[in-house]
Amino acid sequence: MTWARSFLNLISHTWFLNIIQDNFMDGKINLENTVETLKKFELPFNYTHVKHVFKKIIDKRKEHMINIEDFRAIYRAIVHRPEFLELFHAYAENSKTLAHGQLIEFLKKEQYETEECETTALGIILKYEPIQEVRKRSQLSFEGFIRYMASEECSVFKSHHRTVYQDMNYPLCDYFISSSHNTYLISDQLIGPSHLWGYSSALLKGCRCLEIDCWDGPNNEPVVYHGHTLTSKIPFRSVIQVIEKYAFEVSDYPVVLSLENHCSPQQQEVMADYLESILGEKLLTSTFGEERVTQLPSPEALKFKILIKNKKVGTVEESTLRRDLDSHGETGEVSESENVSDDDDSDDSATLCPQRGSSKRKGEGTHSAPPRKKAKVKKVKIALALSDLVIYTKSEKFVSFEHSQNHQKCYENNSIGEVRAQKFAKHSARDFVLHTSKFITRIYPKGTRATSSNYNPQVFWNVGCQMVALNFQTPGVQMELQNGKFLDNGGCGYILKPEFLRNRGSSFTPHDVGRYSKPMSLSIKLISGHQLPPSNLSKTNKADPLVQIEIYGVPEDQTKKKSGVIKSNALSPRWDETFSFTIQVPELALIRFCVEDEISLFSNEFLGQYTLPVLSLNKGSESINLVIIFTGYRNVPLLDKHGTSLKPASLFVHIWYY
């Protein structure tokens, strides 16, 4: 055993020297060369942390240079994580390598791998072991173990869910659909710029419903901007060209263009011409041949298709009869009491319902929303050329749940302002759930959100709203929830709703889950952090990090737990704290890990976060739930406020659920 240990020490030492020796031809190297040498190991590192460790080593030296032993110390400080070493030593008898059998034991006991463990173990060795001599022995050194534990295979997010795995053959109304509000804006709602980047950026994030505000422009060219404001204008034609280019870059599933149409019939015809000529075969221009539309098609049936959501004259069946006729120059009329602007919602300037636990005056907040004033009836002209491009997504003014149940067709959908929708979710949740089980419902921010702030989308996902439209340009918790939810199912922009939000006989309400509760106990041990982003207020890598673990879901599941603060350590903070959660409706739950720097007792600075769904419905069987979160030892990759990876910044956790 001693001989074997000495041999393993020798080959490990030789491997290390072979990688770096050419960089030490002159005996010593500076900081820049240290960084270049570290890159040879093909491991991610944060320059700020390397610089800090380098400066600690050369402190009080006259020259700012290091030798090989100094470099080894830097490498170990950055790469050789103590928490990984503890795990490794628990299974490596000789303390130097994991034999094939020991790795299998680790995978079964700690990572809860039960299927094809022998093959999995060999795959890990071949993929992650960097030392050839160890790899030939079918063993895993600590260097290989580090690489495996920090890999995507040990991510908290299940790799299987990085691809489309859900059944995509249900009707469109059975899916949550990633949706953007005022997609053309990249700043505020009043004076900020409109830009084509808003569309390309949203599509590259997997967004499947884009909003286009269309107004008459000069020279018979429609323009896109936020009407009656000082926001800049962009040509409608250019918007459609960008959409055509990026529509299916990250997802094959249908894109819905929600037109906020304020154009004259003449410029509506121009819009129709551009949609047909630019989008070509991608544009859906007819039904799938059914004589009468009684059910929406599925995302699978609509792959690589772009749908137009707009006001429509008459029914889909009537426009089908006109399909081969030249309708240019012809118009129809719709009544604005039935079809008005999506943003014409008088509740948008109303005060939000008081939050749970907030003080109220006597009698306030205890009754249903007051009846809305009857809309003034007037006729507006719609160009038939544009109207006939609306197939399965006809915009229909929401009147009431009862009216929709009695009169609304399956291809007619509603847009409801956030304030009015919040009142429905609070006072009429069961009716709301029944409505969204049948009809696509879009929620949009209230008009007073001049800074492009966002509402909490979870409230509306809880009642099954499909298109919960957010301002994608505005970072914050709301967009982190959006990005986390749609991380699932391959990031394709469509998430199959839970069965109780699709079943038209469901009595589910998020305020009283009753028989729909499937309690899940979740235990998370927060072990450590690794190369966390340094505080913006620190000139070194110092930060006082803490972690908040939050659950978003139905009201009963909403909770937040906070770790202790680790002083002056962003490189390798160690917590070893365990948090327990009971989740009543895991199908709707999201979990958010948020790392902050404690600035004072009253304020923290955001450092990074990661949000993901807790559960996902299994493909093919609605009675089985698959947990997206992996059990065992997992790394939690951190993202910045814009959703960009902060690699190698991460948390290390142990997760167990039952």
Q: Which sequence positions are flagged as catalytic?
A: 181, 226
Strands (E), 40-139: 97-98
Q: Token digits for 318? A: 């009537």
Q: Residue 101 contacts by C-beta under 8 Å, 6 or more apart in sequence? A: none
Return d(Cα 114, Cα 120) in angstroms, integer.
10
Return d(Cα 306, Cα 606) in angstroms, integer.
38
Return the closest-CA partner of residue 254 out of 288, 277, 220. Answer: 288
Q: Is the Cα dihedral 275, 276, 277, 283 positive or negative?
A: positive
Please report, as a single letter, which amino acid is at residue 409: K
Please report, as a single letter, which amino acid is at residue 280: G
Q: Which residues of 443-460 are buried (b: 16+ CB within 10 A; e: fewer)?
A: bbbbbebeebbbbebbbb
Return d(Cα 437, Cα 377) in angstroms, integer.
29
Contact 620, 576 (CB under 8 A): no
Torsion of CA 324, 328, 330, 331, to 10 degrees: 100
**Beta strand 255-261 with 209-215: parallel, antiparallel or unpaired?**
parallel
519, burial (CB in 10 Å: exposed 0-12, middle 13-18, buried 19+):
exposed
- Cα 595 to chain centroid distance, Å, stands at 18
* Cα within 13 Å of Cα(499), Cβ side: 12
**What are the Cα distances from residue 294, in Å, to 287, 438, 538?**
11, 11, 62
Contact 222, 216 (CB under 8 A): yes
